[in-house]
Structure 1
């Protein structure tokens, strides 16, 4: 497996640490970097950022030896943690550029800990599942404030870092510190259930215990990080959920799943494993959204009203157009009802925000719906655009709303604001 991995592994920036040679010194800064706990001066900040530039030069340079580092273990652990959190629910090919931008802006846990949630959300925009960004920020603050900028070297310690679960803790411990801990994610579940013919739900009961035991027994203590990455690589590129490339698999010779498929002449398919439980149907939501626009006499951009979501729960702390839940039912049921409920909801919501129904005009041409699918919710957003009659004058352009959960943005800033829904245009 490790020989196969050495030959075919994907070239990902966080897998490289660069060669620790004298030629790697960047200006007057040593190539070896230990994060400090109080980098507050401009000189310290400049040092951190110069080293980050060096790190990226090494990470993206062809022919680098990824097993010899120019950064400390803690610096590397931070980069690995960012990559692991980003890779959850996101295809690995998309992660590399986001990772590079992120670690350029915040090259250490301490740098990230000094950021605001809005800044973090802005950098995260496009990856979705914003709770992951929140966890990264909370984890960085924990490492700075509780651990003096040093990451725990073992799984138990890493599990105490906010947002770090068993898989991520094992991945960081093994990849950054060489701790012999098996990292078991969906890819590894798939590989091991097929290779060892493990029946049952891999997340529960006997099957889960058997998978963990096998993974722990297999991990190579000499190259624990490489072993975990090899297992993940195998599941991601070869032992796919559908149409696995069994002929190219380095484990084919002793894969019990392949053996059973051949023994039964195809009556059993290796793709029948793992035996995952059926997912519960997504909850249906019908919501009325109002898009309140006002024109400015002194600018080309329109302005739009946004509200901030609660600090906890779905899409916590993100900005969105004001909306209200109308019903929890399917499109078919909802469409069979009178549209009066929807019109009333739009009118009531807009009036509550504007204060005077006569000060806004509904734009019939900008009415419709957008479907947004979350992991457990299918949300139908019925939107209605309202134009404010009052035109904002030059002297009013610096007006700010007194409510902390309400902001006004213009067209130019719309794409840089961390919003909770898709960026599809209104039709």
Structure 2
């Protein structure tokens, strides 16, 4: 803990303990607190404050850490933590003001500094409180954010080979600007230059890089101050400015990213709803056309079969007239549900085509495999034995027409649809509740 004239510039140990508490379940907190109290008592033996001061110092440190730990949201990951609404006010008012002030009021009357430092006797009580509280507040801000960032796996993406040049360049600019400012005398206005660079880093690389850069530049500023006996207020002022800018900015950016993510999710859900058939819940004709066109183009570049099943509910118009439109809608929902429940590949597409017809798009399937899949769909619906008094089978059945083709540069997806419709018409003409299909040569059936 570097110090100038007996006063600590920054006391980070409480920030480290606070970070560990935020990352740990509360039932384990007593063990961490107990261990910290023992460490504090051992450290206090090196100074001549006496048992009374030792007790006050332990109490003050634990109170400071406890106030912050109980008021800050628990830490699971950095992105989620920054999106907590109460993070910023709790961090500023409790972690950086309330806790450090209580610590300072506890120990400042006994000794005039932290960590056993000796200050000038001319300083009054409130001056001591200000010095102790400021060092504690800066330590909490620096150490807590630094530990949480260093223990987050996302941080190390900054140092991957592709990102490394930009990361090192921005760190170098930040460090050199801090060195130049403090060499020039650490004028309050000049301190805004490295802070502005930290803002750029936050925008370019995020909070993780900004925190790392802030920590490195603050250490550099403290070492420069110690080496040339500058005022302790200079690095403290710089770090206070950095924290008061970077933390709110990072929380704001996290909120912005959260809103953007939610909007993207909402747009995705809206697009998904637009592509679904309202009655059956399976993809609609529009979605079918888009996916068919995409798979057709893909199969044209990398020649392979594209197969299509056309599934039609037999005598659906008679079912609708006999049982009513509501029963007809329920019939379609049941057929769609049973078809969706059939085992199929993730990239196969079951959709409602129109009326009582459904389609099943099977990229890469051909021949016997397509015919087997078509027969499984037909058998599954027939096995449900949903009543249909006007059907010759006295139950709901489907006819299936299938076609499988290899696209060419001069072909269109309409050819596949036409071939499947032809096969479906043949299945209906041959008695319904059956499967017909063709593994066609595309050149023979391409539409003009």
The TM-score range, normalised by the shorter chain, is under 0.3
Higher strand fraction (1 or 2): 1
Q: Tell which structure's C-alpha radius of gyration is larger.
A: 2
TM normalised by structure 1 equals 0.22
Higher helix fraction (1 or 2): 2
